[in-house]
Amino acid sequence: MFRGRGIALKLALIFVVAGVVPMATLGFVGYRLARDSMTETSTEFFVQRVAVDTANNLDVIATNKREATRLLAWSTPLRDNVYELLGSAEGSARHDAALSLIRADLNNWVDVLGTVDLLAIVRPDGTISATNSRARPTRTGFFADTPPGQPRNLWDREDSNPLAGYSVANRVWWPKTAEHEVILIDSHREPLVIESYGYPRFLDEDVDKVERDRIKNPEAYTFAFAVGIPNPPGIDEAGGPISSQATLVAFHNWTAIQDHLDAVNESFAHHERYHSAYTFLFAYDANTIIAHYYRRLYDGKLVEDHGLADFRDAMVKARDRTGTYRYVYRKEKISGFAPVDSTGWEVGFGINVEDFNGPVVRLRNLIIGWSLGVAALIVVLVAFFSPRITRPIRELIAQAREIARGNLDARVAIDSHDEVQELGASFNAMAEELKESNKKLIEAEKRAAWQEMARQVAHEIKNPLTPIKLSAQLIEKAWRDEHPDFERILRDGVRNIVSQSDSLRQIAADFSDFASFPKRNLEPQRLLPLVESVVQLYSNREETGVEVSVEALAGADVEVKVDANELRRVFINLFNNALEAMPEGGRLTVSLLPLEDDEGRAVIDIRVKDTGCGIAPELTERLFEPYFTTRSSGTGLGLAIARKTIEGYGGTISLQSAVGEGTSVCITLPIHLG
C-alpha cells in the first residue's frame, strides 16, 4: 500500500506515534491505577463490611435464641412445674400431672419459637426428665411426613417419651452447664435430635448425592443453649433463691443460621458484578466449616480439606477482629472475615477478584480496542489521503525527469493550494526559462556556425578566383600585345581557368554534401566493381604520374550495403588526397581483404595506400575534423564527410601515415550476407 510512498508512511508513523502511543500509555497507566486502587482498597473494604454485617446479624440471631431460651427457663410456670416434677415420685399422680403440664408448655414454645427442634429438661445427674412431644413445624417437609407447617407429634404416644431417662452426662458440654448460667452448645449434629426427627445418621463416603444432600441439609444440624432452671420464687435452698434445680437445653435448628447466610448470598446472586460472592461460617477453631452456600462443604476442614492453612492462621491471628485474606480456590478470591461475638464463630465473605476487576478489565480492553481502532483509522485515512498529498510531488518528479531527458516543454499541473503548488509554479517558471535560454543558445550556435561557414566559403571561393583573374588578364594582355607565343599562353591560361573552375565546382559540391545530407539509397552492391570503376578514372598515368592498381584477395568479391554514388565520392576524395600528396608521381594501391572484426562480424577491409609525402602522426586524428586542411585550396571537409558516410554504413575509417613514406587509409565495411 505504501510502496513508493515514503511520505505517506512517515505521516502514518507520526500520527500513530503522536496519537495512539500517548493514549495507550495513559490508558494502561489508568488501568493499573484503577485496578490496584479498586482491588486493594474498595474490595477489601467491601468484603470486610459485608462480613462484619453478616457477623453482627448472626450475633443478633444467636443472642435472640439464647435469650428466648433463658426466658423459657426462667418463666414461672416452668419453674413451678419442674419443681413439682422433681419433687414427686415417678409414677405418682402429682408427677404425671406436672409432666403433662411441662410437656404442654414445651410444645407451646416449640410452636411459638418455630426454629427449635428439641427442648429438654435435664436433671442435675444428666438424665432427661421431660421434652416436647410436638415436632418443629418444618418448612420444606424434607424430613417430615406431614406437609410443611402442619403440627406433627414426635412419637405416637405422648405419655411414653422414649427420651425420658436418657443421659447426656457423657457429653463434653455437660460439665460446663454446672459452671455457667448459660452456655452455647456447638454440637452441630446432635444424636438426640437426629433420633427424634429421623434425620439420616451417618455420612459414608459411599453415599449418593441425594443421600448426602439429606445428611448435609441445614435442617439436620443444630446449635443449642443450656440454661439453668431456677427454683420457684420463695424456695430457699442451699444454693440461694435462683440456684438451679435442673437445666433446660434448647436445640435450635441450624436453618436459623444458614437462612441468614443464604439471604446474604441471595442479595448478591443477581448483581451483575458481585454474583460470585458467597458467605460461609467457621466454628470457633476457624477451621471447621459449619455453614456454607455449598452444603456439601459442611463439616469440611479449611486446612485439611482445602489446604488453606494461611487463611485459618489469618483468622486466628486476627481473633475477635475483622480482616481480609486473598487466596486461590479454583479462581483468585478475596475474603473478608469477622467474628460473631457471642458465639466465637468466624464469618467469611468471599468474592472472585475478577468480578471487581471486570470493569477495569473492560476499561483496558476498551483502551486496547480503541487504540487499535484509531491506529487502523489513521492508516486508512493516510492510505486514502496520501495519494492526494504525494501525487503533486510525484508529478514534480516525473516532469523533472522529462526535462532531464530533454523535453523542455514538460510542465506540472498542481492544484493543491499549498507549498507544493508554489513549488510546482516555480518549477514551471524554471522550465520556461530553461527552454528560453536553450532556444537562445541554439540560435547563437547556429549563427556562429553559419558565420563560420560563410567565412570559409568566401575564403575557398576567393582562392581559385585569383588565378582565374590572373590567367584572364594574362591572355588579354598577350592578345593586345600580339604576343608571338600567344597560342601557348592562351592554351595554358584556358587550362588554368578550367582547372580552377573545376576546383570551384568541387568546393561547391563538398559544401553541399556536408550541409544537405543528401538522401541515401542503401542497396547491396558488389564492392570490387565499384572500386574498379573509380580506379578507371585515374588510369591516365601520363597526366598524373601515378600508377594505380587494385589487389583483391581471395573471397574479397563481396557485397556491401551502401549508397553507390556516395561511396564512390568517398573514394574520389581519398584518391584526390593521395594524388595531391604525390605531385611528383608515385604508386597508389587499393587492396581488399575479408576479415572478422573484434566483435566477430564478417567485414571487408579496404586499404588505400600511397607513396606520398605523408603527414605528421600527431595530426592524423585531427584530419577527420571538418575544415582541417593543410592545403590552401582544400576545404578540409573531405575526410570528415568520408567518416560520416562510412560510419553511417556501420563501418570504420582510420589513417596511418609516416612523413616522407606515404599514407594508408583503412576502411572496414560489414559484409552484406544476402
222 part of the interface to ligand ADP, by CB under 6 A: no
Q: Could you tell which of ligand ADP, Mg ion, none binds residue 478, using a CB distance below 5 to 8 A set by kind? A: none
Which of ligand ADP, Mg ion, none lies near 636, with the C-beta cut-off 5 to 8 A by kind? ligand ADP
**Residue 420 or 640: which CB sits closer to ligand ADP?**
640
Among 588, 615, 653, 667, binds ligand ADP (CB under 6 A): 615
Nearest distance from C-beta of residue 437 to ligand ADP, angstroms:
35
From candidates 638, 649, 668, 671, binder to ligand ADP by CB under 6 A: 638
CB of 654 vs ligand ADP, minimal distance in Å: 12
Length of the chain: 674
Does 558 sit near ligand ADP (CB under 6 A)?
Answer: no
Helix (H) or strand (E) holding 452: helix 419-480
What is the nearest approach in angstroms of Mg ion to the Cβ of residue 471?
A: 23
Cell numbers describing residue 133: 412431644
* Closest distance to ligand ADP from the beta carbon of 651 (Å): 18
Smallest distance, ligand ADP to C-beta of residue 471, A: 22
Record the cell numbers describing residue 121, joined without a space.
Answer: 429438661
- Whole-number minimum distance, CB 520 to ligand ADP, in Å? 20
Options 84-92, 104-112, 400-408, 606-614: segment touching ligand ADP (CB under 6 A): 606-614
Vertex 622, ends 619 and 624: CA angle to 5°?
125
Span of 69-77, 405-413, 575-583, 593-601 interacting with ligand ADP by CB under 6 A = 575-583
Amino acid sitting at position 254: W
Our finding on whether 464 is near ligand ADP (CB under 6 A) is no
Separation between Cα atoms, residue 100 and residue 81, nearest integer Å? 9
Using the contact rule CB under 6 A, the part of the chain among 242-250, 283-291, 342-350, 625-633 near ligand ADP is: 625-633
Q: How far apart are CA 175 and CA 645, in angstroms?
A: 142
Please identify, using beta-carbon distances, which residue of 494 and 616 lies nearer to ligand ADP: 616
Which residues touch 549 (CB under 8 Å, ≥6 apart)? 535, 587, 588, 589, 590
Q: Is 505 a residue that touches ligand ADP (CB under 6 A)? A: no
Q: Alpha helices, DSSP H only, in 19-87? A: 21-37, 44-73, 76-87
CA separation for the pair 320, 348 (Å, rounded)? 13
Q: Which stretch binds ligand ADP (CB under 6 A): 304-312, 322-330, 352-360, 572-580?
A: 572-580
How far is the C-alpha of 293 from the C-alpha of 307, rounded, in Å? 19
Minimum distance of ligand ADP from residue 657's CB (angstroms): 6
Report the 3 state secondary structure along 457-510. Answer: HHHHHHHHHHHHHHHHHHHHHHHHCCCCCHHHHHHHHHHHHHHHHHHHHHHHHH
Q: Report the interface residues with Mg ion, using CB under 5 A.
A: 573, 577, 638
650-669: which residues touch ligand ADP (CB under 6 A)? 657, 663
| Shortest separation between residue 428's beta carbon and ligand ADP, angstroms | 47
What's the count of helices (H) and strands (E) in the chain, helices before strands?
17, 17
In whole angstroms, what separates CA 40 from the centre of its chain?
Answer: 34
The least CB distance from residue 673 to Mg ion, in Å, is: 33
Per CB under 6 A, 631 contacts ligand ADP: yes
Q: Which position among 63, 591, 629, 654 is part of the footprint of ligand ADP (CB under 6 A)? A: 629
Nearer to ligand ADP, 623 or 669 (CB): 623
Q: Could you tell me the smallest distance in angstroms from the CB atom of residue 608 to ligand ADP?
A: 8
* Residue 635 interacts with ligand ADP (CB under 6 A): yes or no: yes
C-alpha to C-alpha distance for 282 and 453, rounded to whole angstroms: 124
Q: Is 610 in the site for ligand ADP (CB under 6 A)?
A: yes
Q: Between 187 and 577, whose beta carbon lies closer to Mg ion?
A: 577
User: Is 581 among the residues that bind ligand ADP (CB under 6 A)?
Assistant: yes
116-122 and 662-670 as β-strands: parallel, antiparallel, unpaired? Answer: unpaired
Q: What does 343 bind: Mg ion, ligand ADP, none (CB cut-off 5 to 8 Å by kind)?
A: none
Please give, one letter per residue, the 3-state secondary structure of 197-260.
HCCCCCCCCCCCHHHHHHHCCHHHCEEEEEEEEECCCCCCCCCCCCCEEEEEEEEEECHHHHHH
- Residue 466 binding partner per list Mg ion, ligand ADP, none, with a CB distance cut-off of 5 to 8 Å that depends on partner kind: none
**Residue 634 near ligand ADP by CB under 6 A:** yes
Toward ligand ADP, which CB reaches closer, 187 or 663? Answer: 663
What is the smallest separation between the CB atom of 634 and Mg ion, expressed in angstroms?
6
| Residue number, 48 or 573, with CB nearest to Mg ion | 573
Taking alpha carbons only, the member of 229, 177, 191, 225 closest to residue 63 is: 225
By CB under 6 A, is residue 588 in contact with ligand ADP? Answer: no
Across-strand partners of 333? 327, 352
According to CB under 6 A, which one of 288, 612, 649, 668 is a site residue for ligand ADP? 612
DSSP-assigned beta bridge partners for residue 223: 252
According to the binding rule CB under 6 A, does residue 614 interact with ligand ADP? yes
Closest separation between CB of residue 573 and ligand ADP, Å? 5
Identify residue 274 by its one-letter amino acid code: Y
Task: Give the residue with the Cβ less far from ligand ADP, 11 or 581.
Answer: 581
User: Using an 8 Å Cβ cutoff, are 116 and 110 in contact?
Assistant: yes
Q: Is residue 573 at the binding interface for ligand ADP, with CB under 6 A as the rule?
A: yes
Q: Which of 257, 367, 639, 669 binds ligand ADP (CB under 6 A)?
A: 639
Task: Sheet containing 222-230: give its strands across.
Answer: 128-131, 116-122, 244-253, 222-230, 182-188
The HSE-up count of residue 388 (CA atoms within 13 Å, CB side) is 9
Whichever of 88 and 656 has its CB closer to Mg ion, that residue is 656
Contact between 119 and 110 under an 8 Å Cβ cutoff? The reply is: yes
Region from 35-43, 470-478, 482-490, 607-615 binding ligand ADP, contact rule CB under 6 A: 607-615
State the first-to-last Cα distance of the chain, in angstroms, to the nearest integer: 55
Q: In the chain, what are the helix, strand and coil shares in percent, each to the nearest 5?
A: 50, 20, 30
- Binding footprint of ligand ADP on the chain (CB under 6 A): 573, 577-578, 581, 610, 612-615, 623, 628-631, 634-639, 657, 663
